[in-house]
Amino acid sequence: MGLDTERTAPPGTTSRRVVMTTLGEPEALRVRTGARPAARRGRVVVRVEAAGVSFAEVQTLRGLHPFPPKPPCVLGYDLVGRIVEVGPGVTGWRTGDRVVSMPRVGAWQEYAEVSAKSLAGVPEDLDAGEAVALVCNGVTAWQMLHRSARVRPGATVLVHGASGGVGTLLTQLAVRHGVRVIGTASPAKHDAVRALGAEPLDYRDDVVAAVRKLAPRGVDAVFDHIGGAGLNAGWSLLAPGGTLVSYDSSVAGYRPGQWFRPHLPALRKVIGWNVAGLVGAARGRRARTYYVKPGPHFRDDLASLFTLVRDGVLRPTVARRYPLDEAGRAVRELIDGGVIGKLVLVP
């Protein structure tokens, strides 16, 4: 829809969106305007207040995210907004409700049509940027700590990328839980990591030697978002009975379109270590892969996170807020590094 049409269209009948026109870099993103979506059966239309920016979008742009959508498509993993239309067959939700959703694609637009099954309520007094930082990143951090690794108070854990969107929340949650956190980050971010309550290490140094010096008996959990050879190092650092959680993989060095190959090495390692555990060759250590998904646990854990924020116990770090027109710039900033916390798009 052209600009002239957009100017003359009644308010609320059009929707601006960030479109991935082709695989490539952030510069391939374009902002387009079209008709506002209508709510189909079992779905609602949400007026988006904030949407998250994550490495899932970077991977999708490069055709390296598991089961990637084909261009042209609207990117955006998670959103916070208000329902403006309810489709047939939807119960429990009504126009005006403030909600979050994790559609995995389609959040980077003014109006998004999403499944009613993916919704969870949002407190009215919660900042939209902080709320969206909890949808994917916060639930990931909570579930890895409490459901995958089941870390107990008094434990010691290693958090890779402790200054990132997941890492800052995971570190805060662990420290609040009475857990000692060793966190990797670049030196420029060490003060921020210390402020979260963790002991920072330079990820470019010999992390294994540094961790063994700080925790000679090993760590009780390792949370790894990189994969590759680093997983072997993490496994070697586990104390007996410890858990390694792999929740992403670096896509560096892979060609666009090799969508599943970056993630296979981590999956093979996890399977191999767990097979070793079955025959008693892993000293009680476990390995897990993790990805966040909607469902009852998702809603319950997100509600717990909202409560912690409202009580002043947890503070999501919003690094920067960008308008839709600057989505490419936001993704480029994420790729270039230097971000502490979560980048957010505000339509």
Query: In which residue are the tokens 């390692």 written?
Result: 269
Where is pLDDT greater, at 220 or 263?
A: 220
Is residue 103 domain-shared with residue 182, that is, in the same domain?
A: no
The reply to whether 91 and 153 lie within a common domain is no
pTM value is 0.92
Cα distance between residue 97 and residue 86, in whole Å: 10
Q: What is the CATH number of the domain that holds 218?
A: 3.40.50.720
pLDDT digit string, tens, across residues 149-168: 999 999 999 999 999 999 99
Residue 91 dihedral angles phi and psi, to the nearest 5°:
-125, 155
Specify if 20 maps to a domain.
yes
Count up the domains in the chain and report the number. Answer: 2
Paired tokens of 180: 């000692």
pLDDT digits (tens, 9 = 90+) for 220-240: 999 999 887 889 999 999 999
Domain contains 41 = yes
Element (H, E) at 236: helix 230-237
Same domain, 44 and 151: no
Domain that holds residue 147: 134-289
Task: Please say whether the beta carbons of 292 and 102 come within 8 A.
Answer: yes
Does residue 302 lie within any of the structural domains? no
Instruction: Provide mean pLDDT across the span 46-57.
Output: 96
Q: What confidence category does residue 5 fall into, taking pLDDT thresholds of 50, 70 and 90?
A: very low
Residues 174-189 have a mean pLDDT of 97
Going by C-alpha positions, the residue among 84, 104, 98 that lies closest to residue 43 is 84
pLDDT tens digit sequence for 54-95: 999 998 998 887 777 889 999 999 999 999 999 999 999 999
- Asked whether residue 251 falls in the same domain as residue 177, the answer is yes
Can you tell me the distance from the alpha carbon of 131 to that of 18, in angstroms, rounded to the nearest whole number? 21
Tens digit of pLDDT for each residue in 108-159?
Answer: 999 999 999 999 999 999 999 999 999 999 999 999 999 999 999 999 999 9
Please tell me whether residues 65 and 152 are part of one structural domain: no
116 and 143 in one domain? no
Above 50 in pLDDT, residue 29?
yes
95 and 143 both lie in a single domain: no
Q: Share the mean pLDDT of the chain.
A: 92
Do the domain assignments include residue 341?
yes
Q: In this predicted structure, what is the pLDDT of residue 251?
A: 62
Q: Is residue 304 part of a domain?
A: no
186 in a structural domain: yes
Give the pairing type, strands 111-115 and 43-53.
antiparallel
Q: Which strands, in side-by-side order, build the sheet including 219-224?
A: 199-202, 180-185, 156-159, 219-224, 238-246, 286-289
Strand order in the sheet with 73-74: 29-35, 14-20, 73-74
pLDDT score recorded for residue 263? 76
Kindly state whether residue 37 falls inside one of the protein's structural domains. Answer: yes
